[in-house]
Structure 1
Amino acid sequence: MDPRTELTLRDIGDADLDRAVELAALAFHLKLDDKDRAQQRAVLRDTDRIGAYDGETLAGMAAAHHLRLAVPGTQLPCAALDFVVVAPTHRRRGALSAMMAETWRRCAAEGLPLACLWASESAIYGRFGFGAATEAYRIDIDATRPLALRIAPDARPLRLLAPADAPAELGAFHEEQLAFGAGRFSRDVTWWRRHVLDLEGDEDDDDDDYGPLRVVVLGDAGRPPGGYALYRTRGSGDDGPGAVAVQELAAESAPAAAALWSYLVGIDLTGTVRAYARPLDDPLLLFAADRDQVRVTRQEPCLWLRLVDAGAALTARSWAAPVDLVLAVRDAAVPANDGRFRLTAGGPGAPTTWTPTTDDADLSLDVRELGSCYLGGVPVRRLVQAGLVTEHTPGAARLLDAALATEWLPFTGEDY
C-alpha cells in the first residue's frame, strides 16, 4: 500500500456510474460515444460493484454479475466478474488484491461457491486462484463451395427469426442444453436481450462492416427447435470477400448441427464462415468430409474459474465414477479452502462428502488447479505431468480424472 494515501473500499453507487464507465474506458483504452456510455452504465447498474477510492477519486473497481453456471449435473450460483480495473496512476498499491479479497467475502456471505471471469491478461488472475477451466477453437470454413459432409443433415426446414423473438422461442432450448455441457450460463430474458442479442444497442454501428445480427432456427414454427445459429454477414470490399461471423451455434444432434453449418456456408456472396469460439470436441470437426475446408486457426482459454467455497462446489457437482482421495489444497486467500480434505463420491447419483482430515494426501494442488479441472476439461494427470500437481499415491490422478469425466468437454462461448 502506498503510505502517502490509503485506498478505501466501498460500494460504487449509482451516482458514480459515469465515473466507473470513464475508468473502464481509461483502463481498457476504449473510445466511447454517448450510446456506448449509456450501454455500459446499464450493464454496470445490474451488478454488485466494489470501488477502490483514493479520497473521492475512484481508482479501481470490480463488478460482478450474479449468474448460474452449468457444472456437471447441476447449475450453481456464480459471481461472474466484469469491469475489473485499476487506474494507471494507482497500480501496485494493493487495490486489486483488496477488491478480490472483498469479492471472496461477499461470495461467502451470499452463498456463491464459484467466481469466474474472462481474463484480459491471463498472467494476472492465477495468483488470485483462478484457473483456465474451458478452452475453445477458432474455426474458419471455406465457403466458396458447399460444405462437404460425411453425414446427412437434418431435413427439417430452416427459418429466419426476428432477434426480438429469440428469447421466447429459444430460451427453453438453451436451458435444456445446459444439462449436456458445463461452462455455459443460464439466461433470463434480460440477459438474452442485453448480452446475447444486443437489442439495447445500435445495430447500425456494426464493427468491421458486419451487418445486424441474424437468427436462423432449425424446425417449424410452433415446434421445439432442433437448433439455432446467431450470425452476422459482411459483403465483399477492402477487407476481402464477403464473410459470415458466427456468434453462437447450438444443436440437439450432429445432423441438426450439419444443417445449420451447411446453411451458413451456403449464404450467397460470402467466401468465409468464421466462428470465434467453438468447443474442442465440436462434432463439426469429425463430420466435415474435408478438413482442408474446415480449419482450426487458434486454440485459447475462455472461462477462468475460481472455487470460492471448494467444499460446496465439489459436493454439488455430479461424478462419473466413485472416488475416495485426500487432497491437500493450497489457498492463501480463502482459509476455509486451505488444508487436507477427503473427497468421497460414490459415482452417478450418490452423495459426495468433502471433510477435513489429517490423513496423508494422495494429491497436492493449488486451488487454481482445482478450478481448472473442476468442470472436467483439464485432466489432473496433465497437471501432474506439468509439475503443477503432486501425486503422492500412484494412480491417484487417474482415479480423480475418471470421477471428473464428462460426456462433453466444458465450453464457454459467451463473453459477457
Structure 2
Amino acid sequence: MSTVRFREVPRSRIDRVLDHAYLVFHEEDERPGEREFLRRCERLGAYEDDHLVGFLGALPLRLSVPGGQLPCAGLTYVSVAPTHRRRGVLSGMLQEQWRRCAAAGQPLAALWASEAAIYGRFGFGAATHLSTVEIDSRRPLALRVAPDDRPLRLLDPEEAPAVIGPCYEAERARRAGRPARDAYWWREQILPEEDEDDDELGPPRIVTLGGNPPAGYAVYRTRAGDDDAGTPGLVQLYELEADTAPVAAALWSYLAAIDLTGKVRAWGRPADDPLPLMATDNDQVRVTDTFPALWLRLVDAPAALTARRYAGPVDLALEIQDETLPANHGTFRLTSGPDGTRCDPTEDRPDLTLDVRDLAACYLGGVRPVRLLRAGLVTEHTAGAAEALEAALRTEFLPFTSDEF
C-alpha cells in the first residue's frame, strides 16, 4: 500500500478507466454513453508506478431526504485490479473520497452495491429497498380500486422530461432517496433509445394521465412474444408515478391491457407500493423479489442529522460508532422541536449506541430502529430510546430509489 498514490484521473485517460473496469467487472464491450457518464463524475484513481490499479467515480448528486435534499456523492465504478486486492486500495480510495466530500460540503455518499458484503464495514447501510412485481396480463387486470377515467396520452420521448419532470419532482418531495434529474439524466439514464441490458426491448414509451403537469405517468418498453416457445409478449415497466390510487389503477390497467403482451414486469417498485393491496387476485399480481437498493453513508453524521426533518420532537444522546471517520465517532445530542434541530457533541450518558452503518440504514426512514434493537445491533441504555428515535425518523412513505448509477 505504501507504493500506491491517489489522484484525479483526467478526461484524457478515460480509456484507461474503461479498460480497468472491463478487467474487474468481466465485461468486453463499451456501453453507449459510458464516456459521457464518466466525464460527469469526479474520477479518483489509485496508481502504482503510474499504473491504474483502482478507480472510484463520484457523481455530484442532490438526494431527497425527509424535508428537503442534500448534496451526495454517488459512488460508481468502484473497482480494484485483481493484482491489488486485499492490499488496502479500496480503503485508501474511500478515505480520500471522504476528504473530498468534506471539501465539497457533501454530508452523504451513496452507491449501488454489486457485492453487499463489502460495504457495511465501510459504514454503508442499505437505506432503501425495492420489490419486483409481475402481472399476469393474459386476462384483464382485476383491481379493487376504480381507475381514474381521465384520458391517457402517449408522449414523444423528446418532450417527456418537460411534461413529467414536475410530477417526478413532486414525488421526490414525498419520498426520500431520490436524486435530482437534469436533462442529461432524463435523456441518457431514464429514456435512452435502447435498453443496454436487453436489445430485444423496443424504444421507450411514456404514457401520462391528466393535465399538465399530469397526475401520473409510466415509462415502459415492450418485447414481442415467441409463439413457438409459448413466451408471451412483455411490458417492461421502468417507472410509474401517481398522485392518487385511482390514477395508479388507471396506469396499471393500461399497461396490463397492451395488445400482444401477456406479462407486465416492474423491476423496481417501492417496498410500500399499494398495487399488491389493490389487486383482487394476488395470483395475478405477485411480488417476486425484494432486495436492497441504495446503500447510504453518513460522511458527516451530525450535519446529516441536523438537515433532515423529524416527525416529532426528539431529545436523545446517540453514541455513534464509526472507526473510519473519527469526527463521527462519539456521543451527540440530537434535539429537534419548534426552535429547530441541533446535533452537537455531548459528554452526557448515551441513550442509544449504534454503528454508523445502522444509523445510515435508518436515516431516510426505511429501517426501524426497534427492529435493529431486537436484532441485537443497537444497544439501548435508556428504556424506550429506540422507540423514540423511530418515532422521530418515521416518514409517511418509505424511501425509494430506482435510479442506478
Instruction: State the TM-score bracket (shorter-chain normalisation).
Output: over 0.9
Deviation, 1:154, is 1.0
Contact 2:206 2:220 in 1 (8 A): yes
Deviation, 1:16, is 0.8
Cα deviations across residues 138-163 of structure 1 (Å, max 9, x unaligned)? Answer: 11111011111111111111111111
Give distance in 2, aligned partners of 1:100 and 1:239: 49
Deviates more, 1:67-76 or 1:158-167: 158-167
Cα deviations across residues 265-306 of structure 1 (Å, max 9, x unaligned)? Answer: 001111110111111111112111111111011110000000
Aligned to 1:173: 167
Aligned to 1:25: 22
Q: Does 1:390 align with 2:384?
A: no
Structure 1 residues 21 and 117, CA, compared in 2 at 3 Å: closer, same or farther? same
Q: Return the letter of the residue paired with 2:14.
A: L
Deviation, 1:239, is 7.7
Paired residues, number: 403
Deviation, 1:79, is 0.3
Contact 1:130 1:368 in 2 (8 A): yes
Q: Return the letter of the residue paired with 1:110.
A: A
Give distance in 1, aligned partners of 2:33 and 2:404: 16
Q: What TM-score, normalized by structure 2, do the two folds share?
A: 0.97
Give distance in 1, aligned partners of 2:162 and 2:382: 51
Q: Return the letter of the residue paired with 1:24.
A: A
Partner SS, residue 354 of structure 2: strand
Contact 1:137 1:298 in 2 (8 A): yes
Q: Does 1:152 align with 2:146?
A: yes
Aligned to 2:269: 278
Q: Return the letter of the residue paired with 1:27.
A: V
Give distance in 2, aligned partners of 1:319 and 1:18: 45
Could you tell me which of 102, 106, 110 is aligned with 1:108?
Answer: 102
Q: Return the letter of the residue paired with 1:115.
A: A
Deviation, 1:31, is 2.4
Q: Does 1:251 align with 2:242?
A: yes
Q: Does 1:240 align with 2:231?
A: yes
Aligned to 2:333: 342
Aligned to 1:361: 350
Cα deviations across residues 172-228 of structure 1 (Å, max 9, x unaligned)? Answer: 2211211111111111111111211125xxx387716211111111124xx220111
**Gaps (5+ residues) in structure 2?**
none
Runs of 4+ in 1 over 4 A off after TM superposition: none
Give distance in 1, aligned partners of 2:56 and 2:152: 42
Deviation, 1:69, is 0.5
Contact 1:52 1:99 in 2 (8 A): yes
Contact 1:206 1:212 in 2 (8 A): no
Give distance in 1, aligned partners of 2:219 and 2:195: 17
Q: Return the letter of the residue paired with 2:302.
A: G
Partner SS, residue 209 of structure 1: coil
Structure 1 residues 228 and 41, CA, compared in 2 at 3 Å: closer, same or farther? same
Aligned to 2:73: 79
Q: Return the letter of the residue paired with 1:230.
A: V
**Gaps (5+ residues) in structure 1?**
none
Q: Does 1:325 align with 2:319?
A: no
Aligned to 2:128: 134
Give distance in 1, aligned partners of 2:208 and 2:202: 19
Partner SS, residue 33 of structure 2: helix
Contact 1:51 1:59 in 2 (8 A): yes
Could you tell me which of 219, 227, 246 is aligned with 1:230?
Answer: 219
Aligned to 1:120: 114
Structure 1 residues 205 and 112, CA, compared in 2 at 3 Å: closer, same or farther? closer
Partner SS, residue 146 of structure 1: coil
Q: Return the letter of the residue paired with 1:390.
A: T
Alignment of 1:62-73 (within 5 A): 62-73=56-67
Could you tell me which of 239, 252, 267 is aligned with 2:258?
Answer: 267
Alignment of 1:301-312 (within 5 A): 301-312=292-303
Structure 1 residues 361 and 239, CA, compared in 2 at 3 Å: closer, same or farther? farther
Q: Return the letter of the residue paired with 1:32.
A: D
Give distance in 1, aligned partners of 2:361 and 2:159: 36
Structure 1 residues 243 and 329, CA, compared in 2 at 3 Å: closer, same or farther? same
Q: Return the letter of the residue paired with 1:381.
A: V
Partner SS, residue 210 of structure 1: coil
Q: Return the letter of the residue paired with 1:314.
A: L
